[in-house]
Amino acid sequence: MKDGLLNTNRNSRPNISEIQVRIAEYLLCLEPDGALKSVRDLADMFDVSVGTISKAIQDLESMGVVKITHRGHLGSFLEEKSIGGLWQIIQDGPFVIAITIPSNIRFEGMATALKQLLEKNNIPTYFIFIRGSSMRLRALQDNRCNAVVLSRLTAEGECSTKEKIALELPTMSWLTENRVYFRKGVDSYDDGIKVGVDLDSYDHRYMTDIEFQDQSITRVNTNFTQLPRLLYDARIDATIWNAEEPRLTGRQDILSRPVSDSLRAKLAGRDNRATLVIRKDDSSVQRILRDVIDVDILMEIQERVVSGLLLPEY
């Protein structure tokens, strides 16, 4: 990493040429046992000589990151590939994921699972923890990460035409449910109450606007890490947050209720499903997530962390 950006300067690696990087990207996205384009077609595709293409493929074979078989008139086929090895040629650095601050065990389980699955394939993994979905998405747009973890609701609401959902995870991969929390003695349906809202969170803005749309409320801009303290100190009267938030459960002075039926219908479960969002044109990252992230195994690892059977490690 250099100056906070992913290292995309191929000239910083004198032993790896630009064409080797481009051929590595091509081979990474090729199906196992897939037929390679002819050397001449590849030369036309990358606007280089036939000899340059042949040498680049031979170099990648010599590095041990791919194994190519030649079947006479049938052409050449990708017999084996090292996903981690190809990634190191393409990126020359770790696979960087922007994820929310690990404020609860489910987020820790997500990070643990992603790290285990990627590093099992020899892909070094690095997390940047950023509060607020808008700020995480900006990190992707600014090329400071390869992928960002967002709720399905946020991914639908904030992604531009330059980003896309590369992987969607099952229900409760992000959280179990959201609830309205309020101070004892306060009716959360009353007008005039002070409602805490994290404006950097698309989910929080969206849910607050709909839940309290028929009430006259005072919005108190804060960040989610401060919500419990603001409730304790009566600086806010209510907020919407995760039902698994340990600082808001089990207290006699803090009550909760389900969100309204109208909000629940609009959410349609999109607030509790996690997604991995990437730049739309990043075929290498798309392929790695497709090949490496087994959703069933990821959910199993996450649940083991949540249940205390596995220590979080990320």
Question: Is residue 128 over pLDDT 90?
Answer: yes
The span from the CA of 137 to the CA of 149, in Å, is 9
- Domain 178-265 in the same topology as domain 94-174+272-306: yes
CA 228 – CA 189 distance, rounded (Å): 19
DSSP-assigned beta bridge partners for residue 2: 5
Q: What is the pLDDT of residues 238-276, one digit of tens each?
A: 999 999 888 888 788 999 999 999 999 999 999 999 999
Residue 11 has pLDDT above 60, yes or no: no
Pull the structure tokens for residue 55: 């040498």
pTM of this structure: 0.89
Amino acid 245: pLDDT: 81
Q: Are 145 and 97 in contact (CB under 8 A)?
A: yes
Of 159-168, 204-213, 246-255, which range is least confident?
246-255
- Confidence check: pLDDT of 1 > 90: no
Please check whether residue 90 is in contact with residue 21, taking contact to mean a CB–CB distance below 8 angstroms: yes
CATH class, 178-265 region:
alpha beta
Q: How does residue 13 score in pLDDT terms, banded at 50, 70 and 90?
A: low
Torsion of CA 50, 52, 54, 56, to 10 degrees: -150
Question: According to the CATH classification, is domain 94-174+272-306 in 3.40.50.1220?
Answer: no
Examine the pLDDT at 44 and tell me if it is beyond 70.
yes
Q: 142 in helix, strand or coil?
A: coil
Question: What's the mean pLDDT when you consider all of the chain?
Answer: 92
- Is pLDDT of 41 > 50? yes
pLDDT, residue 6, reads 60
Say whether pLDDT at 136 is over 90.
yes
Q: Is the pLDDT of residue 14 over 70?
A: no
Domain ranges of the chain: 10-90, 94-174+272-306, 178-265
Protein fold of 10-90:
Arc Repressor Mutant, subunit A (1.10.10)
Return all residues near 268 (Cβ < 8 A) that are at least 6 apart.
none
